[in-house]
Amino acid sequence: MPADDSILMMQKALQLLEESVKAAIRHKDGPSARSGQPVLERFSAPLGEVDATRWLSAQSLFPKLFWMNREKSEWIAGIGESDRIEISETGPNDRSFLVLDEAMQRKNPQARYIGGFCFNNLQKQNRLWSAFSPGLFILPLVSVEYRDGQASISCSLWLKPGDDRQKALEQLLLTLSELSAGDTPEAAPIPEMTRVDYCPDKAQWIENCETILRNFDEGKLDKVILARQTELSFAGKVPAIRFLLDYPFPENTAYRFYFEPVEGHAFVSFTPERLYRRDGDMLETEALAGTVTKEALKADDIAASELLLNSEKDIREHRFVKDTIYQELQPVCSHIDMQEEVGVLQLNRLAHLLARCKARLLPEFSNDSTVLRQLHPTPAVGGVPREKAMSLILSIEPFCRGWYAAPVGWLSHDAAEFAVGIRSALVNDDKVYLYSGAGLVRGSNPESEWEEVDQKIGDILAITQQTS
């Protein structure tokens, strides 16, 4: 659709929303929270074809949020905040998952919250992650969504007991009147990169890898994911939205997650890895592990698949993930269908071994806190055994993972979808921190694993280079 037509369509949709809110203001006896329970009022208008990332870029209201599934069949772009669920205390991740689930029981079943967790809430979050609580989920004030083949724009008003409905509606109407239909100038380009630093540096990385390999030799561990933080410095503030606008491989089989709670501080992930999708008691998850770098090997998709499927090291690494997921699901599921034949997920620069899994949750476990507890962290981002690997990661990595490799996504009362926040970046004003890791098993080569991390951050690094 031509840009002018798209803007005109958005203007008409916003006008319809404003008219709906005006009608609600006139209807003074509308729903309220007098009963002691919060009330959700939603107003929607249909849309045709729309570029959600461009629309998001044109807005000045924060937070800014974006989610797209791997199949590109469902997405949501949100601005502002109607309601939030925030977990600020440190402690075991299991506790954070339970707090989220308890909070969702008090929310409207139709409300869909977008957000994420930190990787390990036993690790104190440092200043880089100050805008990101250990758990934070937002119900957007205004959202553009695509579901079931239909795009729409909606606004949500979450009224708590004691809130003045008329005043809240009037404020919502004012906000809608100030929104852009997408006709404002595009975000500035990313400024020139001035410096690159690594944490750990290569010498420390090799030393850390050798420490882990000794643990394998002593029989203490089977697999550990070691991560690296790559710090990019720029000549000025980095407009975080450019990472969404300029993602260079739109056909890549990857989730897109963007979370900017305050201006200038954003977490973005282009991750190939699904943690799970839940629809009622039906669960979909997967084992994704083992990597081949197509660029380094000058391999096409067919050659990359052959290399992976014949690699003893990668098959062994993948088996740890597959077996662990199956074992973790057994206590909470009545039926588990794990794909026996391992396939290959093809990306632009990389390929990974993949096995899909479908399961039915037992009635008493049909909730997200159970699934999050059982599946996070998968062996693809933590290790085997889980607790020993997490403890070693905490002691050996010289930086805070924050939301990297943690569950990120959306949830409502009856459904949820979470990805694993890898292949990610944290934008903090004039700094961008890239995060990725490599799976170490017996026989891993530290030099090769360092190069694998370079390949995994390649897509995000390309964004900074093409716009400078």
Name the one residue in this structure whose structure tokens are 């959600």. Answer: 52
Predicted local confidence at residue 184, as pLDDT: 81
User: Per-residue confidence at 251, pLDDT binned at 50, 70, 90?
Assistant: confident
Q: Could you tell me how far CA 8 lies from the centroid of its own chain?
A: 31
DSSP state of 254: -
Give yes or no for residue 3 having a pLDDT over 70: no
pLDDT (average), residues 119-132: 93
Q: How far apart are CA 256 and CA 272, in angstroms?
A: 9
Q: What residues are annotated to the active site?
A: 223, 273
Q: How far apart are CA 321 and CA 371, in angstroms?
A: 16
Residue type, 184: T
Environment class of 410 (CB within 10 Å of its CB; exposed 0-12, middle 13-18, buried 19+): buried
What residues pair up with 79 in beta bridges, in sequence order?
64, 142
Q: How far apart are CA 95 and CA 107, in angstroms?
A: 19
Q: Cis link prior to 385 (omega < 30° from 0)?
A: yes
* Phi, psi of 405, deg, nearest 5: 70, 10
pLDDT (average), residues 118-127: 92
**328 labelled as ligand-binding?**
no
* Tens-digit pLDDT profile for residues 162-175: 889 999 999 999 99
- Is residue 321 within 8 A of residue 376, CB to CB? The reply is no
Predicted local confidence at residue 220, as pLDDT: 87
Q: How far apart are CA 224 and CA 392, in angstroms?
A: 8
* Tens-digit pLDDT profile for residues 131-182: 999 999 999 999 999 998 999 999 999 998 888 999 999 999 999 999 998 8
Of the candidates 80, 62, 39, 42, the one whose C-alpha atom is nearest the C-alpha of residue 164 is 39
Q: How far apart are CA 428 and CA 39, in angstroms?
A: 36
Q: How far apart are CA 43 and CA 21, in angstroms?
A: 7
Structure tokens, 53: 């990332």
Structure tokens, 184: 């404002």
Predicted local confidence at residue 241, as pLDDT: 97
CATH class for the region spanning 193-253+283-407+431-464: alpha beta
- Is residue 435 within 8 A of residue 426, CB to CB? The reply is yes
Q: How far apart are CA 287 and CA 274, in angstroms?
A: 9
Predicted local confidence at residue 348, as pLDDT: 85
pLDDT (average), residues 193-208: 97
Percent of the chain at pLDDT exceeding 90: 81
Give yes or no for residue 1 having a pLDDT over 70: no
Give yes or no for residue 466 having a pLDDT over 70: no
pLDDT (average), residues 386-396: 95
Predicted local confidence at residue 27, as pLDDT: 83
For 143-207, give the secondary structure using H, E and C.
EEEEECCEEEEEEEEEECCCCCHHHHHHHHHHHHHCCCCCCCCCCCCCCCEEEEEEECCHHHHHH
Name the one residue in this structure whose structure tokens are 């969702």. Answer: 104
Predicted local confidence at residue 467, as pLDDT: 43
Of the candidates 264, 283, 286, 289, the one whose C-alpha atom is nearest the C-alpha of residue 275 is 286
Structure tokens, 289: 């592990």
Report the half-sphere exposure of 327 (CA within 13 A, side-chain side): 11
Q: Give CA separation, 49 vs 5, 76, 152, 255, 460, in Å.
A: 10, 14, 10, 20, 27
User: Per-residue confidence at 293, pLDDT binned at 50, 70, 90?
Assistant: confident
Q: How far apart are CA 391 and CA 288, in angstroms?
A: 22
Predicted local confidence at residue 55, as pLDDT: 94
Count the helices and strands in the chain (H runs, E runs): 13, 22
As a whole number, the mean pLDDT across the chain is: 93
* Tens-digit pLDDT profile for residues 304-317: 899 999 999 899 98
* Tens-digit pLDDT profile for residues 7-56: 899 999 999 999 999 999 998 776 665 567 889 999 999 998 889 999 99
Name the one residue in this structure whose structure tokens are 């404003």. Answer: 18
The domain limits of the chain are: 193-253+283-407+431-464
232 vs 295, higher pLDDT: 232
- Is residue 262 within 8 A of residue 62, CB to CB? The reply is yes
**449 labelled as ligand-binding?**
no
- Is residue 370 within 8 A of residue 361, CB to CB? The reply is yes
User: Per-residue confidence at 226, pLDDT binned at 50, 70, 90?
Assistant: very high
- Is residue 111 within 8 A of residue 139, CB to CB? The reply is yes
* Tens-digit pLDDT profile for residues 210-224: 999 999 999 989 999
The most distant pair of C-alpha atoms in the chain lies apart, rounded to whole Å, by 73
